[in-house]
Amino acid sequence: MKEYNSQFRRILKKLKDIDDKLKKPKSVNDYVSELEAKKLLLRGTTWFWERRRSGELPYTKLGGQVFYLMKDLVKYLEDRSSKN
């Protein structure tokens, strides 16, 4: 469990660092593909699909690909992190 928490905190820090760089108007560079998001959050396709379906995670679909704003991924994690 400690390893999971440590890994989660590292991921959250990386996402926050990226989010800090994205304090500008939206551009193509503000988006990450679902493949990139899966690598960042260590989650699978089904997990993302469930969050999209429930409306918990905003997304953009272009053709057959799904994209997420990095700030939305960071916000999702922050909203669900414990405030220890």
Condensed to tens digits (0 to 9), the pLDDT of residues 18-66 reads 777 666 657 788 899 999 999 999 999 999 999 999 999 999 999 999 9
CA distance linking residue 81 with residue 36, whole number of Å: 21
Per the structure, how many domains does the chain have? 1
Question: Residue 26 sits in which domain range?
Answer: 2-80
Residues 52, 66: contact at Cβ < 8 Å? yes
CA 11 to chain centre: 10
Q: Is the model's pLDDT at 84 over the cut of 80? A: no
User: Is residue 70's pLDDT more than 60?
Assistant: yes
